[in-house]
C-alpha cells in the first residue's frame, strides 16, 4: 500500500512541480535557506532540475555557518560555497558546541580558503577566548565591506582588557560600512581606546561591564541608532565618591536624543538611573528592562519616567516583577502598548535564604501582585490597546492569587463599556524551579497510585 501511494504521488505531484516557473521554485527553496547554505545540500540532490537551479543561484550559497557539528573535512564544502557564491558578499557565523573543533582553527580555515576578491558582508564569531577578538584587526581579512560584526566570548571574565593591538587601541574605523556592532563579553572596555564609526551604526549591543557614565561617552556619538542593548555595571557602595560625581554629571548633562531608536534593552543588577534620566526616544516601540534587586523603594523611578515619556509610541514592554510597584503609576500613560511581559516574582526578594517561606515574604509577593493587577481591574480603560499579557517565571506561592486576579482582569476587560477589548491572550507560567517541583510531585503521586494511594484535590 505504501509503494502504491508513493507511485501515485510521483505521478500526480512531479508534473506539477516541473511546471512551476524556475523563479517560483527558487522562491520556495529559499525558505529552507534559513541563513545557512548547508541547508541547500539536500534539496540540490532531489533531481537534476532542482540541482541545476540551486547551484546556479549564487545567493543561496552566501551564508556559511560552522561549529554545530564535527567540522573536520569541511574544506570541500567551503571550496564549493565560495565557487557557487561567485562575486556576491558573504556572511560567516561560527558558534561551536563545547565538544566541537576549536573555533579559531575554523576561522583561519575560512579566511585562508576564501578568494582574494571575497567580500564579507556579515561576521558573527563566538569563542571561549577573549584574545581571538584581535584576529579581526589584522591584515588577513578585508573588513571594508562588513555591515554586521558580532563577537561573543562565552567565558566570562573581570577587569579591564589589555588588547594585543598597537597602543592597545581597538580601531573599527576600517569597517567603513559597519551598521550593526555586537561586543558580547563581560571584560571591561575602555571607551577612550575604542574607535568606531559610531554615527553610522543602527544596531549596537555592548555587554561589557562598564559604568553608565562611560557608556554615555559612546552613546553620545551613536546618533542614528534604531536598536540598542546595554549591560551597564552598577557602582558598589564603596564608590560613594564616584557616585556623587555621577550625580553631579547627571545634573550637568544635556538630554541624550535618539530620534530613530525603536528597540531598547537594558539589563543590570539594580535599577539604572543615569542613562534613563537623560534618554529622549520619541520613536521607541519596544523596551526590555531587567534587573535583579531593588533595595530601596523608588529606585526604578527614572526607568518608569522614561517609559512614561514614551507612552504614545511604546508597543511592547518587558519588565521584572519588582517593577510592578512603580509600574502601576504609569499604566494609564501607555496608550499604545500592545504586548506586556512581567518576568519574575512581584515582590521584594529575601536576602535571608533561610527565610524564603516567611510570612513577611509571602505577604510581599501578594502586595506586589495586587499592586500590579488591581489598578488594571478597577480601570479597564488603562492600557487600552493591550493584546497580550504575559506573567511568567512566578513562584508557586503566587499561583492561586495570580489566577484569581487574572480572571478578574479578563472579566473587567470583556465588560468594558466602550464596545469590547483588544485583549487576545493572557499567559501565566511558573518559574523553572517551581515547575520542576510540580512535575516531581506529580511523578510521586503516580507512583503512589500504583501502590493503591490516590492523591485527589477538590
| Per-residue pLDDT tens digits of the chain, which is 458 residues long | 777 776 666 665 556 666 778 888 888 888 888 889 988 888 888 888 888 989 999 999 999 998 877 677 788 888 999 999 988 999 999 988 765 667 888 888 888 888 888 899 999 999 988 989 999 988 778 899 999 999 999 888 877 788 888 888 999 999 999 999 999 998 888 888 999 999 999 999 999 888 898 899 999 999 999 999 999 887 654 343 444 444 545 545 788 999 999 999 999 988 888 999 999 999 999 999 999 887 777 788 999 999 999 999 999 999 999 888 889 899 999 999 999 999 988 876 544 444 455 555 556 678 888 889 999 999 988 999 999 999 998 888 778 888 899 999 999 888 875 555 788 999 988 888 777 887 888 888 888 888 888 777 65
> DSSP 3-state assignment of 254?
coil
The Cα 57–Cα 51 span in angstroms is 10
Q: Are 346 and 321 in contact (CB under 8 A)?
A: yes
Helices and strands in the chain: count of H runs, count of E runs: 13, 17
Where along the chain do its domains lie?
Answer: 62-210
Helix (H) or strand (E) holding 91: strand 90-94
Give the 3-state secondary structure of 38-74. Answer: HHHCCHHHCCHHHHHHHHHCHHHHCEEEECCCCCCCC
pTM of the model: 0.83
Closest CA to 114 of 36, 62, 176: 62
Amino acid at each position: 500500500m505504501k509503494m502504491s501511494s508513493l507511485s501515485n504521488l510521483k505521478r500526480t505531484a512531479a508534473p506539477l512541480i516541473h511546471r512551476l516557473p524556475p523563479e517560483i521554485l527558487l522562491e520556495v527553496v529559499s525558505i529552507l535557506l534559513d541563513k545557512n547554505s548547508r541547508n541547500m545540500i539536500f534539496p540540490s540532490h532531489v533531481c537534476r532540475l532542482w540541482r541545476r537551479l540551486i547551484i546556479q543561484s549564487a545567493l543561496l550559497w552566501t551564508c556559511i555557518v560552522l561549529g554545530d557539528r564535527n567540522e573536520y573535512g569541511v574544506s570541500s564544502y567551503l571550496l564549493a560555497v565560495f565557487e557557487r557564491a561567485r562575486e556576491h558578499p558573504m556572511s560567516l557565523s561560527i558558534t561551536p558546541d563545547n565538544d566541537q573543533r576549536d573555533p579559531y582553527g575554523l576561522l583561519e580555515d575560512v579566511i585562508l580558503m576564501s578568494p582574494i576578491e571575497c567580500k564579507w558582508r556579515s561576521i558573527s564569531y563566538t569563542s571561549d577566548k577573549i584574545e581571538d577578538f584581535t584576529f579581526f584587526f589584522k591584515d588577513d581579512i578585508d573588513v571594508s565591506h562588513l555591515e554586521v560584526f558580532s563577537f561573543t566570548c562565552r567565558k566570562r571574565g573581570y577587569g579591564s582588557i589589555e588588547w594585543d593591538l598597537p597602543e592597545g587601541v581597538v580601531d573599527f574605523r576600517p569597517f567603513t560600512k559597519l551598521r550593526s556592532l555586537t561586543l558580547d563579553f563581560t571584560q571591561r572596555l575602555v571607551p577612550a581606546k575604542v574607535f568606531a564609526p559610531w554615527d553610522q551604526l543602527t544596531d549596537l549591543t555592548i555587554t561589557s561591564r562598564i559604568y553608565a557614565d562611560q557608556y554615555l561617552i559612546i552613546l553620545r556619538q551613536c546618533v542614528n541608532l534604531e536598536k540598542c542593548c546595554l549591560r551597564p555595571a552598577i557602582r558598589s557602595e564603596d564608590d560613594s565618591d564616584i557616585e556623587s560625581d555621577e550625580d553631579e554629571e547627571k545634573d550637568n548633562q544635556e538630554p541624550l536624543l535618539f530620534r530613530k531608536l525603536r528597540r531598547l534593552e537594558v539589563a543590570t543588577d539594580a535599577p539604572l538611573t543615569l542613562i534613563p534620566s537623560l534618554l529622549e526616544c520619541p520613536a521607541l516601540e519596544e523596551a526590555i528592562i531587567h534587573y535583579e534587586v531593588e533595595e530601596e523603594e523608588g529606585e526604578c523611578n527614572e526607568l518608569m519616567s522614561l517609559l512614561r515619556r514614551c507612552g504614545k509610541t511604546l508597543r511592547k514592554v518587558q519588565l521584572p516583577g519588582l517593577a510592578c510597584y512603580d509600574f502601576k503609576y504609569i499604566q494609564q500613560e501607555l496608550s499604545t502598548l500592545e504586548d506586556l511581559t512581567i518576568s519574575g516574582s512581584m515582590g521584594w526578594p529575601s536576602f535571608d535564604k533561610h527565610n524564603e517561606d516567611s510570612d513577611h515574604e509571602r505577604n510581599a509577593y501578594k502586595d506586589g501582585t495586587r499592586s500590579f493587577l488591581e489598578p488594571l481591574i478597577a480601570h479597564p480603560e488603562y492600557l487600552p490597546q493591550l493584546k497580550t499579557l504575559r506573567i511568567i517565571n512566578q513562584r508557586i506561592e503566587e499561583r492561586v492569587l495570580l489566577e484569581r486576579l487574572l480572571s478578574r482582569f479578563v472579566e473587567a476587560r470583556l465588560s468594558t463599556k466602550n464596545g469590547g477589548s483588544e485583549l487576545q491572550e493572557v499567559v501565566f507560567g511558573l518559574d523553572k524551579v517551581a515547575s520542576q517541583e510540580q512535575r516531581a510531585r506529580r511523578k510521586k503521586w503516580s507512583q503512589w497510585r500504583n501502590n493503591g494511594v490516590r492523591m485527589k484535590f477538590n
